[in-house]
Amino acid sequence: MREKLQEIELSLIDRPFEPHRQRIDPEKIRELAESIREIGLQEPIILRPLNGRYEVVAGDRRVLAFKFLSIEKIPAIIREMDEETLVLARATENLQRENLSPMEEARVYGNMRDKLGMSFEKIAKRTGKAGSTVRKYLDLLDIPAKWQEAVDRKEIGLDASIYLNRIDDPEMRDYYFTAAVENGVTIEVARRWVEDYRKSKLGQFNPEAGGGSGAVSGIEAQAIYQTCFGCNGPVESRQVRYVPLCPGCHRDVLEAKHQSEGR
């Protein structure tokens, strides 16, 4: 049976209560609005009735674009949905977007886990993703919020951030995350940092157990590594060598490296 298309007033439509897309670029909304102005809406939005109003199931950005254009009504399909159908419908729509950020994708899987009680294996089967991929994104939800933002800004890699989150001391974890964001870090370097932290922790002096005054303390006992600009391998910070360059030469060196790496 073909669903009926209706014109719904924007004033009656509420955005998703838990939108996966936390930050919507206003410029992208403007571009979508201009496209709609030129060629019209290519696909109606999907709404569900809720408390005398309508909640967006699919098409949140299209609703914002219509508001940008000051259009009072939008073509929509109305569907009755239970909570499970709603969560799965939103997950499908969000995962189809090419520009979904790591945290947005992680929240899609997290919503399926938390609202529907789905294991990562069931989520993987339902979405067609590899189980290891789903589990990795779910691990991303456990990282402190400010480092989640760094992942979305591509200041630190997803895998490296998950590995650094294994450091159980909050201050030391922040220390290493800061070093990673400021200097860059590969997964190999991140793994070595975690190993060094764990070794240092196991070797710390416990005054109640006796044993002298040679206590190992925090950062001083740990070798900090950076990523070598030339070979991308790990190098201990105190062994790093710096070459003075003017801004122009620095730019030329970066461009030459990117070209050699095929970027």
pLDDT-derived band at 204, boundaries 50, 70, 90: low
The arithmetic mean of pLDDT across residues 75-83, rounded, is: 93
**Model pTM greater than 0.75?**
no
Q: What is the pLDDT of residues 241-259, one digit of tens each?
A: 656 667 777 677 767 766 6
| Phi, psi angles (nearest 5°) of residue 205 | -75, 135
Average pLDDT of the chain? 83
The arithmetic mean of pLDDT across residues 186-195, rounded, is: 90
Please name which of 49, 67, 39 lies closest in space to residue 6, comparing C-alpha atoms: 49
Q: What is the pLDDT of residues 12-26, one digit of tens each?
A: 999 987 655 556 789
- Which pairs from 234-242 meet CB under 8 Å and 24+ separation? 234/186, 234/188, 234/189, 234/192, 237/183
pLDDT at residue 24 in the model? 77
Q: Where are the domains of the chain?
A: 1-81, 83-141, 144-204+218-260
CATH class of 1-81: alpha beta
- Is residue 152 within 8 A of residue 101, CB to CB? The reply is yes
Would you give the DSSP letter of residue 228?
-
pLDDT at residue 220 in the model? 47
Model confidence at 83: pLDDT above 60: yes
SS3 245: coil
pLDDT at residue 229 in the model? 65
- Taking the mean position of all CA atoms in its chain, how far away is CA 68? 27
Least confident of 14-18, 89-93, 113-117, 223-227: 223-227
CATH class of 83-141: mainly alpha
Give the H/E segment covering residue 151: helix 145-152
pLDDT-derived band at 149, boundaries 50, 70, 90: very high
- Is residue 112 within 8 A of residue 87, CB to CB? The reply is yes
Please name which of 8, 92, 22, 21 lies closest in space to residue 50, comparing C-alpha atoms: 8
